[in-house]
Amino acid sequence: MGYKPLTDEQNKFIINNHKKYKYDEMAKILEISKSKIVYWSLEFKKQGLIENKPRIRKWTINEEKQFIELMKQSMPINEISNILHKDIHSLVSKIRYLREHNLINFSYSIYKKDYEKNFEQYKHTKLTNWTNNEIKLLLDNCKKLTLKRLCKLLNKGTWDILCQIRNQLKINPNLELCHNCSSTYFDFTEEEDMFLLKHIVTGNKHFILNTIHKNWKKMLNRMSLFGLKREFIPNEITDIEFLMQTLLEKYNIPYTFQKQIPYDDYHNYWADFYLRENIIIETMGDYWHGNPITQHNLNDNQKEKIKHDVKRHRNLSNLGYRIFYFWEYDLKNNMYDCENKLQFIKTLVGDKYD
């Protein structure tokens, strides 16, 4: 059952601004529900009043050059998206591609402008110059104020304040700090903080957690302290992908994680691990991909996924790719066979130092 008709003014606004605003933004402006906006937008598309935008996947050379220039200007990614008419996912994928191929030699935060300033403040390991008055103000207030309030009082970044307090603690171990902030100052060492900030953009949360020996909740709290949200991790790696990544590093096999492989003008495939010589490694979750060893009574979703996997394998094989599959069950219970399989793959692709 459809919704009640909108007013003429509301209809005109949706038709004229469907490219400019998102559904939730239009809903706020028109003061109606988002579901109504979606419903009438689809109706207008059927009537030909709104164009169906084609999914443009390929990048031209000029678009890539323009994208790099806009990033150098530290323009927020949502504004770049509007200028280039590319979705955020496409832009993030392009950033990864440019980094992997060393086509950009500068840092760029993929987050909103509010976070970019904070990121620039704490990502450098060097301290800013502190005056004697600033240090005195810090020492006078560190017992009364939390870390965030100290940042506002001194107009300095979180990392800058943390490093200065740690330096003062070396000089005076009996320095009194705000009793509510003991975990803030002592849960993470300076080396652990630096490691977290350096590697957070890689998206490998397991690698970070196993190195600094912290749990996921503590890591999230620490990220929040530095003004980072959970979404800052670009593409969270799964448990079995982490196991495979560990094995590839162990055997010095060169790889690219989550590589985009073009299929046609409108469709791309993502390879879990792309190796040399057009070799792909895929890690397969037992439940979603229907491992015959562990999954005996498949549901409709699993059957559809298997059909999709067969089609995907056929299409990639036709493009000249050779695909090796590793099941979750084997990675967790049969590591010996997985390592033998990887040693064979290494004979095909060689060592990363070759």
Work out the number of other CB atoms within 10 angstroms of the CB of residue 109.
Answer: 20
For residue 118, tell me if it sits in a domain: no
The total domain count for the chain is 3
How far apart, in Å, are the Cα atoms of 65 and each of 49, 73, 308?
34, 13, 35
Residue at 45: amino acid letter: K
pLDDT block averages, 10 residues each, the chain of length 354: 77 82 80 83 81 59 85 74 72 72 60 41 56 88 82 79 84 80 73 74 65 79 70 62 84 83 76 88 90 88 90 91 93 88 88 53
Pair 316, 261: CB distance under 8 Å: yes
d(CA 184, CA 180): 8
d(CA 88, CA 109): 13
pLDDT single digits (tens) 169-209: 888 888 888 876 666 667 888 788 877 776 665 556 666 77
Judgement on whether residues 213 and 247 belong to the same structural domain of the protein: no
Judgement on whether residues 279 and 220 belong to the same structural domain of the protein: no
Judgement on whether residues 246 and 178 belong to the same structural domain of the protein: no
Coil vs helix vs strand at 280: strand
Judgement on whether residues 195 and 253 belong to the same structural domain of the protein: no
pLDDT single digits (tens) 63-90: 888 888 887 777 776 677 778 877 666 7
Angle between helices 23-30 and 34-46 (to 10 degrees): 110
User: What does the pLDDT read at residue 283?
Assistant: 93
Work out the number of other CB atoms within 10 angstroms of the CB of residue 185.
Answer: 15
For residue 107, tell me if it sits in a domain: no
Question: Which residue, of 187, 215, 232, is where some domain finishes?
Answer: 232
Question: Which residue, of 232, 255, 271, is where some domain finishes?
Answer: 232
Question: Which residue, of 189, 204, 232, is where some domain finishes?
Answer: 232
Which one, of 272, 192, 197, 280, lies nearest residue 240 by Cα? 272
Question: What CATH number is given to the structural domain containing 311?
Answer: 3.40.960.10
Judgement on whether residues 264 and 320 belong to the same structural domain of the protein: yes
Which one, of 85, 92, 78, lies nearest residue 63 by Cα? 85
What phi and psi values does residue 328 have, to the nearest 5 degrees?
-55, -45
Coil vs helix vs strand at 243: helix
User: What does the pLDDT read at residue 240?
Assistant: 84
Token pair listed for 248: 């590839």
For residue 287, tell me if it sits in a domain: yes
Find the domain containing 151 and state its range: 132-232
> DSSP character for 200?
G
For residue 82, tell me if it sits in a domain: no
Judgement on whether residues 251 and 328 belong to the same structural domain of the protein: yes
For residue 180, tell me if it sits in a domain: yes
User: What does the pLDDT read at residue 218?
Assistant: 81
User: How big is the chain, counted in residues?
Assistant: 354
For residue 119, tell me if it sits in a domain: no
Residue 268 burial by Cβ neighbours in a 10 Å radius (0-12, 13-18, 19+): middle
User: What does the pLDDT read at residue 246?
Assistant: 81
